Amino acid sequence: MRRAGLALIPLALGLVGTIVALAAGDRRQIFIQWQLAWVWVQLGLLAALLVFAIVAVRAALRRRAVRSREDAVAAERAERRRFVDRLDHELKNPVTAIRLGLSNLPESDVAAGLDAQALRLTRLLGDLRKLGELENAQLEIAPVDVEALGREVAEAVGELAESSDRSLAVSFPRAPRPLPPVRGDADLLFLAVYNLVANALKFSQPGDRIELRGAEDDGWVTLEVADTGRGIPVEEQGLVWEELARGSHTRDVAGSGLGLPFVRTIVERHGGGVDLRSRLGEGTSVRLRLPV
């Protein structure tokens, strides 16, 4: 509103000058002649200036909107980081005291259960702290062989108990050429893919199939982890990327609700994106897209 008011100042000055001239009896006229042959050039110039002004204004508005979104995301992350820091500070000492107190009690199922829950809370706080640190951590960027990383993940998850009665298939293209490398932090990318495969194993049943696939598409490398597990209800699929979110159908499986937020944060730090597709009772597919 203030800028709109400033724009009216030249108009007001012009009106004042006109009134003064009329009051002084000044009736002189200025005649401007245009040659007809140049009218179209001049009209075209005016139209070009108008279009340029419109484009410039729209570009400025887009830049302002992008900056506003980026500022809002940064502010949200900073606020979440401060909350996690306060939560960690306030709960760390009480939880430690609880575990020390339980260690002095006679052994019993009740004491063991309470200690297990206190340990779970300790780990949860640690994971929240790691997620906050990950958003600002310095990445160790280097070329990453995506196929080698995928096969390393497949070998690592073979040590999980669930892998013994599920089948895991790994597929990467050979024709017309293998996948190109991506630039990124190999350890963090390993952690992202490992989380996805471990999740697929955790939320599937004996006899289910998990597939880890790679593909290249128009300057992007896609890593997809698909399973024939229990799937996710449609109304809950938008919540899986939020910290501590647990689906209504996963109450029987231990977890913190931080696995997929870890994955999303890692991939976005690498300039990529994630998406999830799922059908309840049929399975889930999660895709990571990383720039070549």
CATH number for the domain that contains residue 283: 3.30.565.10
Number of domains within the chain: 2
Note whether 108 and 230 are same-domain residues.
Answer: no
Note whether 133 and 146 are same-domain residues.
Answer: no
> Does residue 90 or residue 170 have the better pLDDT?
170
121-135, 224-238, 274-288: segment of lowest average pLDDT: 121-135
Domain with 229, as residue range(s), is 142-291
Domain boundary among the residues 90, 114, 137 is at: 137
State the pLDDT at residue 19.
Answer: 76
pTM: 0.62
Note whether 162 and 279 are same-domain residues.
Answer: yes
pLDDT band at 80 (very low <50, low <70, confident <90, very high): low
Note whether 86 and 166 are same-domain residues.
Answer: no
pLDDT band at 176 (very low <50, low <70, confident <90, very high): confident
Quickly list H helices, the chain: 2-23, 36-103, 109-134, 146-157, 186-202, 259-269
Domain boundary among the residues 90, 118, 137 is at: 137
Note whether 172 and 251 are same-domain residues.
Answer: yes
pLDDT band at 149 (very low <50, low <70, confident <90, very high): very high
Domain boundary among the residues 86, 114, 137 is at: 137
pLDDT band at 214 (very low <50, low <70, confident <90, very high): very high
Note whether 63 and 86 are same-domain residues.
Answer: yes
State the pLDDT at residue 3.
Answer: 55
Q: Is the pLDDT of residue 51 over 90?
A: no
Would you state the structure tokens that stand for residue 217, as one six-digit string? 């598409």
Of 139, 129, 138, 137, give the one whose Cα is nearest residue 81: 129
Note whether 128 and 40 are same-domain residues.
Answer: yes
Note whether 150 and 287 are same-domain residues.
Answer: yes
Note whether 163 and 133 are same-domain residues.
Answer: no
Running DSSP on this structure, what letter comes out for residue 181?
A: P
